[in-house]
RNA sequence: GGGUGUUUAGCUCAGUUGGUUAGAGCGCUUGCCUCACAUGCAAGAGGUCACAGGUUCAAGUCCUGUAACGCCCACCA
C-alpha cells in the first residue's frame, strides 16, 4: 500500500505492470494443469504491418475476452504470432533492393530469401512490441510465425495429404495475374473496383470466298482492345437472326489479318453490345471456356510483366495500356472503329499493390474446394460454429455454396515452396514431406522442386492447430483445440475464417472454434477506411502516448457497438482518459479518508448499521456485475463499458461518494467504519469488472489501495458474481433501491428549483422528507405559478394545500410542497402486459363469437333461443373487452 | 445484377423479447476552482426516431414499399 500520487502517470505505470505480468508468467497457459480451457488464436498480423487502429480494436476485444475468462478461472491461452505475408513482404524487400539498383533476379533466389529473413529479424517484430504496449495478455512463450519450422512442417503435411487425396491439381487456367507482382492471385486477392472505362466497338471485315469484302463487317464490343491480338474467333448466339447467316463464315482480324471463324455459343447475350463477341481464350475466363468448347487453341499475347509478347506482332514490347492506345489509334486510322462509348465496369485490382489485374492463362496449382466446403457449410448449419452477429452466417454459407477452386501457387520466392518434385529421367511427379534424395520410381537423384511458393493463406488456414504442434499429437493440442472464440473483421471471412473451418474439419476432425465474432471496420469521421495513403489514419501509439493504453482501449470499447463500423476521431479518446482520472480521484478520496480501509472492509458488514444509501449502492453493484457479465457473454462490449461507466461515475462517485461525506466528516464512528467498508467493497469489485478494459490502471489501484498483497495480481482475482444472497442478508431489497432512486429524483428536483430560482449554491435550504410520503418542502423566492408549471413539466403531483404561511420562516415566502409517491407506485408495464393477455384472450373469444354469429349456416340451423343466448354472451364479452381496453387506455 | 448494413439531439452513436418520461459522450447555455477530481461539480436547452402505408390496446422497435449513403459478392464482352 502506498500513497496515490495526485496525478496518475500511465506512461510509467503501464509498462511497469506489463513487464511484471510477463515476468510472473501470468499470460502463460499450461496444459498439464488441466481445467476448463479457453483458447483464442490471434489473427496473425503481417510482419510488414505496424499497429493500426483496426488492430487496436481487434486485439483489445480479444484481450478483454481472455482477461475475463482468466479471472473466471479458465485455463487460458491467447496464442500470438505473425504471418509471413508472402507478396507484401517480398514487395517491401524488393523495394529496398531497388534502392541499391538491384532486382531479386540479380542476387538469386537463395540470397533473396536470406535477405527477407534478415528483414524479418530486424523489422518483423514491430507489431508484436506494439501489441505489448497495448497491454495484450498473449501467451508469448507460444509465439509462432507462419514460416517457422513447425508450421512449415504442417504446411507440407497438409499439402501432401491433399495431393495424395487428389484434391490438389495443376492446370493451365485463366487466373488473376498481377503484372507488377509477377504472380497469380486467388479470386479473393483480386479486388473489384468500379472503373469508368470505355467500350470500343470494332469492325471485323467479313471474308467471302477467301477474299475481303470492302463494306461488310461484324462489329464486336470490347473494353480491352489490345486483347484482340489474341483473338481466335468471333462468337454469336445461335438464335440471333442478325448473325445466323454468318455462322461458319470467316472474318479477318484487324491489324494482324488472321482468319477468324464465326462460331455459335450460348454464352453470348444478343442484348449486350452488338451481340457479337471476340473470343480471346488466353485473356478472358469466359473466352477460355468457349475456346475449350470449340477446340480453339489459345494465343497468349502478353508477357508476365504486362507487356505485349511476340504474339502481338508489331506491338510486341509495348506495355498493355500503351498498346491499347496505339491499337485504337491504328484502328481509327483504318476506319475500323465504329464508336467508343463510356462504360462503367468492375475491374480486378491486386490487393497488395492495387495494379489492374490481368486475366491470364498460366500453369498453376489449385485446391479442389467442393469436398472441403461441404462439411464446413454443414458445421455452420449444425451450429457447431456460429457467427456473431448472425448475419455473417449467410455470407459464409453463400461463399461455401458457390465456392471455386483455390489457386494456391504464387510465382514469388518468399513463402513455403511447393513440395512437389519432378524427375526428369522418368517424368515422375510427386509431393514429398522433407527433401527427397532420389526419385521413388526410377531412383534417379536428379530432381527438380517446383519453383512456385504457396499462397500465404495456405499456412494461415492451419493456424488454429499448426501453432499447437500439429501434425504431432501432444497435450497442448488435446486441451486447447478446438479453440473457443475467433475475433476478426469481416474482410477476412473468406480469406481466412472459412478456410480455417475447412482445414480444421479436414485435418483435426473438428471445427477450430465455436464462435466467430466479427467486429466492425474502423473508419475516419467521414466514413472512409483508415489508410496511410489517405493520411486519415489514427496511430494507436500516438494515442497511447497522448492519453494512455487504457484510455485507448476503453474509448474504443465505448464506441464499438456489436459488429458496427466505428467512426473515429481523436477527441473520442478523452472518454477513456477522463474516466481513468475520475476513478483515480475516487480512489484518492477513499485513501485520504482511511488508508487502512481495505483491511477493515474484509471483515464484512453489520447489516444493522447499513443505511438505505449503503444498501442502494450494493444493490446497484450487483446489477452492474450481472449486466456487465451478460454483456460480455453477448459481445456487447459497448454496453459492458457503459454499465461500468454509469456505475462508477454516476452511482458511485456522483451519489455514493457525495453521500458518504456527511458520514465520513461526521462524528458517528460506527457508521463511519461501515460506510468505509461499503465503499471499498463496491470499489474493489468494480475494479475487477473493469480490469479487462483498463488492465494497467486497475492493477495499479489494486495494489495502491492494498486490495491484494504484493505478490497477488488483479489479473487472477476472481470475476465478481451477482450478490443475490448477500443483498437479502444486507437488506438491500428492491424497495430500498426504489426508495433511494426516488429520493435522488427529489434531490435533483430541489437542485432544479434552486438553479431556476437563483438561490446561491452556498445558501442552505431546508429540505424535509417524511417517511412513507416523503415530502419536500421548499421555501423559495418565486411565485406559485412558476413552480406549478415547473412541476407540471416534470409530471410530479403537487399538493393543493400549500404549507400554511404560519409555519414558514417569516423572511421567506412559502410557495409549495412537493410529493413523490413512493408507496403504491404502479408497475405500469407489468399491469399492461397482464391486461393485454386478458384482452388477447377476450379478443379471440370475441372474434370466434362474431364469426359464428355472422355465419348464415349457424343462424339457419340453430334454434332461435340458442342464437339469442349466443348473442347475449357475445355482448357480455364485448363489454368486458371494452372495459379492459379502457383500463389499458388509462394506463397508456 | 445479387446480398447486406445504416438513417434517432448540433456531432458521434446506444436503444435487447413491441410497454412508464426515447438515452450516453462530445458540443452548447447558466452557475460554480464547494475540503477526491476544472481531465471536474450542479442545472438547463436541444428529438416529426429518413419518408409513405400497414399490423397492434400500444411501434424508434414488427410487416410492406420508397429514398439516400455505405459495405460485400459477381466471368455480360
Report the distance from CA of residue A20 to the C1' of nucleotide B26 in Å, as an integer.
Answer: 36
CA dist., res. A191 & res. A346, Å (int): 9
In the block, residue with C-alpha cell 399538493: A799
- Count helices and strands in chain A by DSSP H and E runs: 30, 27
Per-residue pLDDT tens over the stretch A775-788: 333 333 233 333 44
Is the peptide bond between A389 and the residue preceding it cis, with omega within 30 degrees of 0?
Answer: yes
Looking at per-residue pLDDT, the higher value among A148 and A568 belongs to: A148
* pLDDT for res A879: 65
Report the distance from CA of residue A401 to the C1' of nucleotide B61 in Å, as an integer.
Answer: 33
Average pLDDT over residues A127-155: 94
Looking at per-residue pLDDT, the higher value among A831 and A107 belongs to: A107
User: Which nucleotide across the nucleic acid strands is nearest to A272, CA versus C1'?
Assistant: B76
Q: How confident is the model at residue A254 (pLDDT cuts 50, 70, 90)?
A: confident
User: Which nucleotide across the nucleic acid strands is nearest to A655, CA versus C1'?
Assistant: B41
Average pLDDT over residues A54-68: 94
User: Which nucleotide across the nucleic acid strands is nearest to A4, CA versus C1'?
Assistant: B36
| DSSP secondary structure of A863-879 | -HHHHHHHHHHHHHHHH
Does residue A543 surpass a pLDDT of 80? yes
Report the distance from CA of residue A493 to the C1' of nucleotide B27 in Å, as an integer.
Answer: 38
Specify which residue's alpha carbon is closest to the C1' of nucleotide B11. A525
In the block, residue with C-alpha cell 530486424: A122
Specify which residue's alpha carbon is closest to the C1' of nucleotide B40. A582
Q: To the nearest 5 percent, what fractions of chain A are helix, strand and coil?
A: 50, 15, 35
* pLDDT for res A539: 81
Does residue A656 surpass a pLDDT of 50? yes
Report the distance from CA of residue A424 to the C1' of nucleotide B72 in Å, as an integer.
Answer: 46
Per-residue pLDDT tens over the stretch A829-867: 455 566 666 666 666 666 656 655 555 555 555 556 566
CA dist., res. A823 & res. A739, Å (int): 9
Most confident of the following: A201-215, A248-262, A439-453, A678-692: A678-692
Average pLDDT over residues A16-42: 95
Report the distance from CA of residue A842 to the C1' of nucleotide B59 in Å, as an integer.
Answer: 23
| DSSP state for residue A445 in the 8-state scheme | -
Report the distance from CA of residue A564 to the C1' of nucleotide B5 in Å, as an integer.
Answer: 9
Angle of the A637-645 helix axis to the A549-558 helix axis, nearest 10 = 110
Report the distance from CA of residue A240 to the C1' of nucleotide B70 in Å, as an integer.
Answer: 40
Per-residue pLDDT tens over the stretch A380-427: 988 899 998 888 998 899 899 889 899 999 999 999 999 999 998 899
Average pLDDT over residues A229-235: 90
CA dist., res. A496 & res. A201, Å (int): 41
Q: Which cell goes with A241?
A: 437472326
Per-residue pLDDT tens over the stretch A631-655: 999 899 999 999 999 999 999 999 9
Q: Which cell goes with A713?
A: 495480481
* pLDDT for res A798: 31
Instruction: Give the Cα-Cα-Cα angle A566, A568, A574 (nearest 5 degrees).
Output: 120
Angle of the A695-705 helix axis to the A669-690 helix axis, nearest 10 = 150
Average pLDDT over residues A878-891: 60
Report the distance from CA of residue A861 to the C1' of nucleotide B72 in Å, as an integer.
Answer: 63
- Listed as ranges, the nucleotides of chain B within 7 A of a protein C-beta are 3-6, 11-16, 19-21, 24-26, 30-32, 34-37, 39-45, 57-58, 69-77
Specify which residue's alpha carbon is closest to the C1' of nucleotide B58. A892
User: Which nucleotide across the nucleic acid strands is nearest to A390, CA versus C1'?
Assistant: B4
Report the distance from CA of residue A761 to the C1' of nucleotide B43 in Å, as an integer.
Answer: 11
CA dist., res. A66 & res. A72, Å (int): 10
H or E stretch covering A367: strand A358-367
Q: Is the ipTM of this complex over 0.90?
A: yes
Q: Decide if A9 contacts A696 (C-beta within 8 A).
A: no
Look at residues A508, A511, A513 and name the one whose alpha carbon lies nearest to residue A157.
A508
CA dist., res. A679 & res. A659, Å (int): 11
Q: Which cell goes with A292?
A: 475449350
Listed range (A172-176, A228-232, A244-248, A700-704) with the worst mean pLDDT? A244-248
Per-residue pLDDT tens over the stretch A699-751: 999 999 988 888 889 999 999 999 988 998 998 888 788 778 777 776 776 67
* pLDDT for res A857: 52
Per-residue pLDDT tens over the stretch A144-185: 999 999 999 999 999 999 999 999 999 998 999 999 888 999
CA dist., res. A32 & res. A728, Å (int): 41
How far from A98 is each of A5, A92, A112, A117, A123, CA to CA, in Å? 53, 10, 12, 17, 18
User: Which nucleotide across the nucleic acid strands is nearest to A270, CA versus C1'?
Assistant: B76
Does residue A891 surpass a pLDDT of 50? no
CA quadruple A339, A342, A347, A349: dihedral positive or negative?
positive
| Backbone torsions φ then ψ of A452, nearest 5 degrees | -80, 160
Report the distance from CA of residue A136 to the C1' of nucleotide B41 in Å, as an integer.
Answer: 35
Q: Decide if A707 contacts A684 (C-beta within 8 A).
A: yes
* pLDDT for res A605: 85
Most confident of the following: A1-10, A101-110, A813-822: A101-110
* pLDDT for res A791: 41
* pLDDT for res A107: 92
User: Which nucleotide across the nucleic acid strands is nearest to A224, CA versus C1'?
Assistant: B77
Average pLDDT over residues A220-234: 90
Report the distance from CA of residue A528 to the C1' of nucleotide B71 in Å, as an integer.
Answer: 11
Does residue A334 surpass a pLDDT of 60? yes
Specify which residue's alpha carbon is closest to the C1' of nucleotide B69. A527
Q: How confident is the model at residue A253 (pLDDT cuts 50, 70, 90)?
A: confident
CA dist., res. A62 & res. A53, Å (int): 14
Average pLDDT over residues A214-238: 88
Report the distance from CA of residue A754 to the C1' of nucleotide B46 in Å, as an integer.
Answer: 22
* pLDDT for res A159: 96
Does residue A1 surpass a pLDDT of 60? no
Report the distance from CA of residue A393 to the C1' of nucleotide B50 in Å, as an integer.
Answer: 29
CA dist., res. A796 & res. A774, Å (int): 13
Average pLDDT over residues A448-453: 94
| Per-residue b or e along A387-426, where b marks 16 or more CB atoms closer than 10 Å to that residue's CB | bbeeebbeebbebbeebebbbbbbbbbbbbbbbbbbbeee
Does residue A454 surpass a pLDDT of 80? yes
Q: How confident is the model at residue A462 (pLDDT cuts 50, 70, 90)?
A: very high
CA dist., res. A120 & res. A112, Å (int): 12
Q: Considering chain A, what is the average pLDDT of its residues?
A: 82
In the block, residue with C-alpha cell 478472358: A284
User: Which nucleotide across the nucleic acid strands is nearest to A627, CA versus C1'?
Assistant: B16
Provide the phi-psi class of A335: left if phi over 0, else alpha when psi is between -120 and 50, else beta.
Answer: left
Look at residues A615, A531, A594, A499 and name the one whose alpha carbon lies nearest to residue A158.
A499
Beta bridge pairs of residue A359: A176
User: Which nucleotide across the nucleic acid strands is nearest to A568, CA versus C1'?
Assistant: B12
Q: How confident is the model at residue A336 (pLDDT cuts 50, 70, 90)?
A: confident
Amino acid at each position: 500500500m502506498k500513497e496515490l500520487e495526485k496525478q496518475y502517470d500511465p506512461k510509467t505505470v503501464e509498462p511497469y505492470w506489463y513487464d511484471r505480468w510477463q515476468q510472473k508468467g501470468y499470460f502463460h497457459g499450461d496444459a498439464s494443469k488441466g481445467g476448463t480451457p479457453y483458447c483464442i488464436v490471434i489473427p496473425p498480423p503481417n510482419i510488414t504491418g505496424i499497429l493500426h487502429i483496426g488492430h487496436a480494436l481487434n486485439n483489445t476485444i480479444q484481450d478483454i475476452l481472455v482477461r475475463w475468462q482468466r479471472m473466471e478461472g479458465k485455463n487460458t491461452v491467447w496464442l500470438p504470432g505473425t504471418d509471413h505475408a508472402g507478396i507484401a513482404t517480398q514487395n517491401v524487400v524488393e523495394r529496398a533492393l531497388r534502392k541499391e539498383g538491384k532486382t531479386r533476379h540479380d542476387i538469386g533466389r537463395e540470397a533473396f530469401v536470406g535477405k527477407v529473413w534478415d528483414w524479418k529479424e530486424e523489422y518483423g517484430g514491430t507489431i508484436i512490441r506494439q501489441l505489448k504496449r497495448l497491454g495484450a495478455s498473449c501467451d508469448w512463450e507460444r509465439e509462432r510465425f507462419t514460416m517457422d519450422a513447425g508450421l512449415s512442417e504442417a504446411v507440407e503435411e497438409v499439402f501432401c495429404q491433399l495431393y495424395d487425396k487428389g484434391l490438389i491439381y495443376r492446370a493451365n487456367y485463366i487466373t488473376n495475374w498481377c503484372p507488377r507482382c509477377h504472380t497469380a492471385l486467388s479470386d479473393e486477392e483480386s479486388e473489384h473496383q468500379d472503373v469508368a472505362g470505355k467500350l470500343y466497338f470494332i469492325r471485323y471485315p467479313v471474308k467471302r470466298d477467301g477474299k475481303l469484302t470492302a463494306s461488310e463487317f461484324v462489329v464486336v464490343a470490347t473494353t480491352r482492345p489490345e486483347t484482340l491480338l489474341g483473338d481466335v474467333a468471333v462468337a454469336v448466339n445461335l438464335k440471333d437472326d442478325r448473325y445466323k447467316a454468318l455462322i461458319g463464315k470467316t472474318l479477318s482480324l484487324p491489324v494482324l489479318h488472321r482468319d477468324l471463324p464465326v462460331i455459335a455459343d450460348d454464352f453470348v447475350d444478343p442484348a449486350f453490345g452488338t451481340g457479337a463477341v471476340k473470343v480471346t481464350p488466353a485473356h478472358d475466363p469466359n473466352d477460355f471456356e468457349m475456346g475449350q468448347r470449340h477446340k480453339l487453341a489459345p494465343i497468349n499475347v502478353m508477357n508476365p510483366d504486362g507487356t505485349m509478347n511476340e504474339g502481338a506482332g508489331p506491338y510486341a514490347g509495348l506495355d498493355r495500356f500503351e498498346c491499347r492506345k496505339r491499337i485504337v489509334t491504328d484502328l481509327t486510322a483504318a476506319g475500323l472503329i465504329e464508336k467508343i462509348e463510356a462504360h462503367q465496369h468492375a475491374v480486378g485490382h491486386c490487393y497488395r499493390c492495387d495494379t489492374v489485374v490481368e486475366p491470364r492463362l498460366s500453369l498453376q496449382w489449385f485446391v479442389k474446394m467442393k469436398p472441403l466446403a461441404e462439411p464446413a457449410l454443414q458445421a455452420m448449419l449444425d451450429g457447431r460454429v456460429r457467427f456473431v452477429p448472425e448475419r455473417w452466417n449467410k455470407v459464409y454459407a453463400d461463399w461455401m455454396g458457390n465456392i471455386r477452386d483455390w489457386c494456391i501457387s504464387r510465382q514469388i520466392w518468399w513463402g513455403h515452396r511447393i513440395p512437389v518434385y519432378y524427375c526428369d529421367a522418368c517424368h515422375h511427379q510427386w509431393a514429398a514431406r522433407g527433401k527427397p534424395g532420389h526419385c521413388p520410381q526410377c531412383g534417379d537423384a536428379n530432381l527438380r522442386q517446383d519453383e512456385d511458393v504457396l499462397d500465404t493463406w495456405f499456412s494461415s488456414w492451419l493456424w488454429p492447430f499448426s501453432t499447437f504442434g500439429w501434425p504431432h499429437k501432444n497435450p497442448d493440442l488435446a486441451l486447447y483445440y478446438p479453440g473457443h472464440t475467433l475475433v476478426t473483421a469481416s474482410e477476412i471471412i473468406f480469406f481466412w475464417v472459412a478456410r480455417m473451418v475447412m482445414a480444421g474439419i479436414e485435418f483435426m476432425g473438428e471445427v477450430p472454434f465455436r464462435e466467430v465474432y466479427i467486429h466492425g471496420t474502423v473508419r475516419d469521421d467521414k466514413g472512409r477506411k483508415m489508410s496511410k495513403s489517405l493520411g486519415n489514419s489514427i496511430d494507436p501509439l500516438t494515442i497511447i502516448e497522448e492519453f494512455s493504453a487504457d484510455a485507448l482501449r476503453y474509448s474504443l470499447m465505448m464506441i464499438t457497438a456489436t459488429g458496427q463500423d466505428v467512426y473515429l476521431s481523436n477527441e473520442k479518446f478523452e472518454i477513456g482518459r477522463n474516466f481513468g482520472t475520475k476513478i483515480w480521484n475516487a480512489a484518492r478520496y477513499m485513501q485520504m479518508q482511511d488508508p487502512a480501509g481495505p483491511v477493515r472492509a474484509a471483515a464484512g458488514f453489520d447489516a444493522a448499521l447499513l443505511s438505505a444509501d449503503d444498501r442502494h449502492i450494493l444493490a446497484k453493484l450487483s446489477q452492474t456485475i450481472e449486466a456487465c457479465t451478460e454483456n460480455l457473454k453477448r459481445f456487447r462490449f459497448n454496453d459492458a463499458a457503459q454499465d461500468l461507466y454509469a456505475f462508477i461515475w454516476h452511482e458511485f462517485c456522483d451519489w455514493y461518494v457525495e453521500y458518504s461525506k456527511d458520514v465520513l466528516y461526521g462524528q458517528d464512528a460506527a457508521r463511519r467504519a461501515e460506510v468505509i467498508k461499503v465503499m471499498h467493497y463496491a470499489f474493489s469489485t468494480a475494479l475487477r469488472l473493469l480490469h479487462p478494459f483498463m488492465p494497467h490502471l486497475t492493477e495499479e489501484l489494486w495494489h495502491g489501495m492494498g486490495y491484494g498483497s504484493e505478490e497477488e495480481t488483479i489479473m487472477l482475482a476472481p470475476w465478481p458474481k451477482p450478490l443475490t444472497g448477500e443483498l437479502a442478508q444486507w437488506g438491500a431489497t428492491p424497495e430500498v433501491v426504489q426508495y433511494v432512486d426516488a429520493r435522488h429524483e427529489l434531490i435533483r428536483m430541489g437542485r432544479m428549483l434552486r438553479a431556476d430560482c437563483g438561490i446561491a449554491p452556498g445558501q442552505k435550504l431546508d429540505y424535509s422528507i417524511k417517511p412513507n410520503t416523503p415530502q419536500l418542502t421548499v421555501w423559495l423566492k418565486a411565485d406559485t405559478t412558476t413552480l406549478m408549471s415547473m412541476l407540471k413539466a416534470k409530471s410530479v403531483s403537487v399538493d393543493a394545500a400549500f404549507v400554511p404561511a404560519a409555519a414558514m420562516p417569516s423572511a421567506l415566502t412559502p410557495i409549495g410542497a412537493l410529493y413523490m409517491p413512493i408507496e403504491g407506485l404502479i408497475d405500469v408495464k407489468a399491469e399492461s402486459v397482464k391486461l393485454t393477455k386478458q384482452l388477447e384472450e377476450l379478443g379471440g373469444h370475441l372474434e370466434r363469437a362474431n364469426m359464428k354469429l355472422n355465419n348464415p349456416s349457424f343462424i339457419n340451423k340453430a334454434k332461435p333461443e340458442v342464437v339469442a343466448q349466443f348473442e347475449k354472451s357475445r355482448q357480455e364479452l364485448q363489454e368486458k373487452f371494452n372495459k379492459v381496453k379502457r383500463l389499458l387506455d388509462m394506463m397508456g
